[in-house]
Amino acid sequence: MVSLIEKCEVAPSPGSAAELTLPLTYFDHVWLYFHRMRRILFYKLPISRPDFVQTIIPSLKNSLSFTLKHYLPLAGNVSCPQDWSGYPELRYVTGDSVSVIFSESDMNFNYLIGNHPRNAKDFYNFIPQLAEPKDAPGFQLAPVLAIQVTLFPNHGISIGFTNHHVAGDGATIVKFVRAWALLNKFDGDEQFLDKEFIPFYDRSVIKDPNGVGMSIWDEMKKYKHMMKMSDIVTPPDKVRSTFIITRDDIGKLKNLILSRRPNLTHVTSFTVTCAYVWTCIIKSEAAIGEEIDENGMEFFGCAADCRAQFNPPLPPSYFGNAIVGYVARTRHVDLAGKEGFTIAVELIGEAIQKRMKDEEWILSGGWFKEYDKVDAKRSLSVAGSPKLDLYAADFGWGRAEKLEFVSIDSGDSISMSLSKSKDSDGDLEIGLSLSKTRMNAFAAMFTHGLSFL
């Protein structure tokens, strides 16, 4: 199904800094025991294996090397004290590199890039696994990034990314991918690398007047048995599907809500889309005959970039994690009823609006305490953001044909991915990974509801 062409290590280009160490902030600590992030970009490109080997592989290696000169921590490791006495940090030293696999597959490319239900296990052929951690004196060093490029002869190419969330949030990783794409497209010419793609590394801009970093780290150490420095991959028995919600549908959902609740102030594309998916998820459970506690609590969680919420704001190119989680919650029966969608929009909008500009809540670590109250098995979370356009990553082959968030397979909760549509401005793409029966029930709910708008 997949055969290896080459496995190599790509280091930052000559002239890079000899070393770089970044302390973790309290925004980073919480991701130490989180599952790894896995994304795949698919590109239509009718190229043969000889052309792939002779032109694509050398170009991608060279441009990646130039890109890593600016993104040194991604070539390095997360360094964690073996006795847990000190803080972890990101550390790059000369000689560190990123593992890159080049492979070839005879799988049906058009099947993989479809929106219909596809076997989730199939996608694990096209994402790399992070190398095992290495022991150093007093520390354990775990790599933070690996890449796999796969050729589908005469059809296309996929680029799979696996990264440790502790190295950076979606904004950081997307900027890295888009920087690499630009340098590949323009043969390493850095004049095409806009300022927004040059990382800002000064961690002193993250103020911690309340000592939140130490308190969160002390709390995290209680769960050190869960902090798997190894990258453990378990392909699930699920199917993946993509659903498109059009700008027209989003407008109708907004109008529906405002006709019912004219005084609501946070009725956005994000809010109505997530609320609609949440209620369809809830109702799909009953449709497949699951036994449900109607008074049990249901949770919705999303993360928001808080770079702009600081005073002064953090630079948009700040490298690392700068996201906080918002949680909405209510009883199952509230979401499953006729007013479920309206209730969901209200709850999600209120959660975001309440916290969006609350600098004190961010600086005090109040967002961290939210996680303790969430039952992962009864929650829906969001990966990705329409504000982060990975489809725009053009390596010289045009826009990506399909984006898959493979990591939504992981964990006890249901996770949805959300991104801009590749085809139409204003449309949104929703990715889900569910059991086959649950997916069929969800798809019926999703399509049926939109048809009545």
Catalytic residues: 165, 394
**Six-digit token string for 332:** 């199952």
- The C-alpha R_g of the chain, in whole angstroms, comes to 22
With 0-12 / 13-18 / 19 or more C-beta atoms within 10 angstroms meaning exposed / middle / buried, residue 13 is middle
Q: CA–CA separation, 355 vs 319, rounded Å?
A: 23
Tell me the two tokens of residue 303: 């993360």
Question: CA 313 to CA 175: how far, in whole Å?
Answer: 18
Q: How many residues does the chain have?
A: 453
Phi and psi at 444, nearest 5°, equal -65, -45
3-state secondary structure of 333: helix
**Strand ordering across the sheet containing 98-105:** 2-10, 98-105, 145-152, 156-163, 37-44, 402-405
Three-state SS string over 61-117 comes to HHHHHHHHHHCHHHHCEEEEECCCCCCCEEEEECCCCEEEEEEEECCCHHHHCCCCC
By C-alpha distance, which of 154, 97, 103 is closest to 128? 103
Contact 332, 245 (CB under 8 A): no
